[in-house]
């Protein structure tokens, strides 16, 4: 999961490390512990093509309106335990 760099504040969304940084950390963990990988998934966000979003590399997405919500993109690693 991308690390939170700055928490959300009034009228300002939280800031997170890039998806690339999270992937690098996952790869380092896999290598360090000699993890036996079964599958790797990128959990994809809906509406990532909004003009205010960064596309597939965006790690956080907020929606506004009557029911505002915040979404996050992350990598899921399935491995043998």
Task: Specify the number of domains making up the chain.
Answer: 1
Residue 21 confidence (pLDDT) above 80:
yes
* Average confidence (pLDDT) over 27-50: 84
Buried b (16+ CB within 10 A) or exposed e, 33-46: eeeeeeeeeeeebe
Confidence (pTM): 0.63
3-state secondary structure the chain: CCCEEECCECCECCEECCHHHHHHHHHHHHHHCCCCEEEEEEECCCCCCCCCCCHHHCCEEEECCCCCEEEECEEEEEECC
Instruction: Quote the pLDDT of residue 54.
Output: 66
Token pair, residue 42, equals 């990128």
* Average confidence (pLDDT) over 35-62: 74
Residue 18: domain span = 4-79
Q: What value does the mean pLDDT of the chain take?
A: 82
């Amino acid at each position: 999961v991308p690390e939170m760099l700055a928490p959300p504040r009034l009228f300002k969304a939280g800031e997170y490390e890039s998806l690339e940084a999270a992937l690098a950390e996952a790869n380092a963990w896999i290598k360090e512990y000699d993890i036996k990988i079964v599958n790797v998934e990128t959990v994809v966000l809906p509406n990532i093509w909004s003009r205010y979003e960064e596309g597939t590399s965006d790690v956080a997405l907020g929606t506004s309106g009557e029911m505002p919500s915040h979404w996050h993109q992350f990598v899921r690693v399935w491995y043998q335990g």
